[in-house]
Amino acid sequence: MTGPGHSRPVSVIKNNYFNYIMSIEKGPEFRIVGGASPEKKEEAKKELQEALFNHFESLSPKEQKELKKFEYKKSDKEKSLIDFANQETNELRQEAGMEPYNVPYENYHLLPSKKYDKLKPGGSDAMTSYTRQGILLNKENLSSDPLKLGSAFVHETLHLKGHYAEKAEEHDKDVGTTPFREGVSAYGARRDKPHEHFYGLHEAIVANQEKKSFQKLLDLPFFQKEKEWLMSDEAKKIRKEMADKMKISEDEFRWIDKKRGWGTFPFRAPREVLDFVCAEIQKEYPQQYQDKDEVFREFLKSHCTGQLLRIGRLVEKTFGEGSFRALGNMTANKESAILHMELLKKARARKEKIVSTLVFSPDRGASAGRPRNPKISL
């Protein structure tokens, strides 16, 4: 399956009228930009709707043959986990003012490690293809602990249900589309040097919500034994020992035991940057946001809607001019996150110093108090 960042030709939809109408009623509003004609843009939009709600038939004969040969059949439990992921992400979309919809079972592809690694060599054990509206998962690796697969379903479903826009361009008589926006991330304009802005922030938002949704996942009836184990004194002791050894918070562990080892939530370093950003924004606007979780919901809303103006202004007014663009350069790896954490801390310190200078200026007097923005102007 083609992953994000690959172009694909726009083809004529071969879908029946009923499925098409149902996709319009239930599906997301895909956005198509670029220089293609309105007719070609509409074709591109319909193709995405086809890929979402008539997924298997939208694939090429070769891809269908490969999936029939290698794909694992989903168990009732795995379907229940997909149901949970759809329900959880639908609630999040509704909170963001977006219409809910369910990603069908057939859009989730559970594959053996060898086949998955050929499609996506290296990297994570799951991926979302926005152009194909499907999700690939390495079932063998995601079975390393009993909760990893369910958590991955939530993560990837939230990716797929985020804002998505394509760019459609006509070249002679051919029309090609490429990803333009995915969640908060955006692709650079240069085709010869592709760059995905806000990729680290994008993954941080999704992974942070994955962690927040974990308790609900753990509360599902078929995870009762796993929950009892994780709440036991023995598991707590092991978790504390591992947390001290790894120098991370105990709540970073999704799973831990003596036989299967341990599993943590992904993208910890970018999540720490996002957490710092949310905490500092809350300090800057205490009357508007009671805690940093309320600030995080602004970022999650941007993931669902694709609208960056509000979070951009929050970051710029808290950390200074140019800080949102700097945050956009953060990738998902640890080294980049550490670097950008230091940059943001320095930017915040400079902003604090400027404010302090204004507050305690001899011309104004210390009694003036620190100026705060009780409500951000949009």
Q: What is the pLDDT of residues 17-68, one digit of tens each?
A: 334 334 334 578 899 999 999 999 999 999 999 999 999 999 999 999 999 9
Structure confidence at residue 351 as a pLDDT band (50, 70, 90): confident
Across residues 220-225, what is the average pLDDT?
96
For residue 6 the two structure tokens come to: 């690959």
Checking if the pLDDT of 363 tops 70, the result is no
Residue 19: the pLDDT is: 41
Residue 175: the pLDDT is: 82
Give the percent of the chain with pLDDT over 90.
Answer: 76
123-139 b/e (C-beta count within 10 Å ≥ 16 → b)? ebbbbbbbbbbbbbbbb
Residues near 363 by beta carbon (within 8 Å), at least 6 away in sequence = none
Q: Is 338 exposed, middle or buried (0-12, 13-18, 19+ CB in 10 A)?
A: middle
Residue 7: the pLDDT is: 41
Q: What is the pLDDT of residues 245-299, one digit of tens each?
A: 999 999 999 999 988 789 999 999 999 999 999 999 999 999 999 999 999 999 9
- For residue 237, report the phi and psi dihedrals to the nearest 5 degrees: -65, -45
For residue 144 the two structure tokens come to: 């390393």
Q: Give the global pTM.
A: 0.87
Residues near 244 by beta carbon (within 8 Å), at least 6 away in sequence = none
Structure confidence at residue 191 as a pLDDT band (50, 70, 90): low
Query: How does the average pLDDT of the chain come out, rounded?
Result: 87
Domains of the chain by residue range:
26-182, 197-364+373-378
User: End-to-end distance of the chain based on CA atoms, in angstroms?
Assistant: 41
Q: Do 155 and 303 form a contact (C-beta atoms < 8 A)?
A: no
Q: Do 281 and 293 form a contact (C-beta atoms < 8 A)?
A: no
Residue 94: strand, helix, or coil: helix
C-alpha closest to that of 253 among 278, 277, 300, 218: 218
The full 3-state SS of the chain, as one line of letters, equals CCCCCCCEECCCCCCCHHHHHHHHHHCCCCEEECCCCHHHHHHHHHHHHHHHHCHHHHCCHHHHHHHHHHCCCCCHHHHHHHHHHHHHHHHHHHHCCCCCCCCCHHHEEEECHHHHHHHCCCCCCEEEECCCCEEEEECCHHHCCCCHHHHHHHHHHHHHCCCEEEEEEEECCEEEEEEEEECCEEECCCCCCCCEECHHHHHHHHHHHHHHHHHHHHCCHHHHHHHHHHCCHHHHHHHHHHHHHHCCCHHHEEEEECCCEEEECCCHHHHHHHHHHHHHHHHHCCCCCCCHHHHHHHHHHHHHHCCCHHHHHHHHHHHCCCHHHHHHCCCCCHHHHHHHHHHHHHHHHHHHHHHHHHHCCCCCCHHHCCCCCCCCCC
Residue 358: the pLDDT is: 57
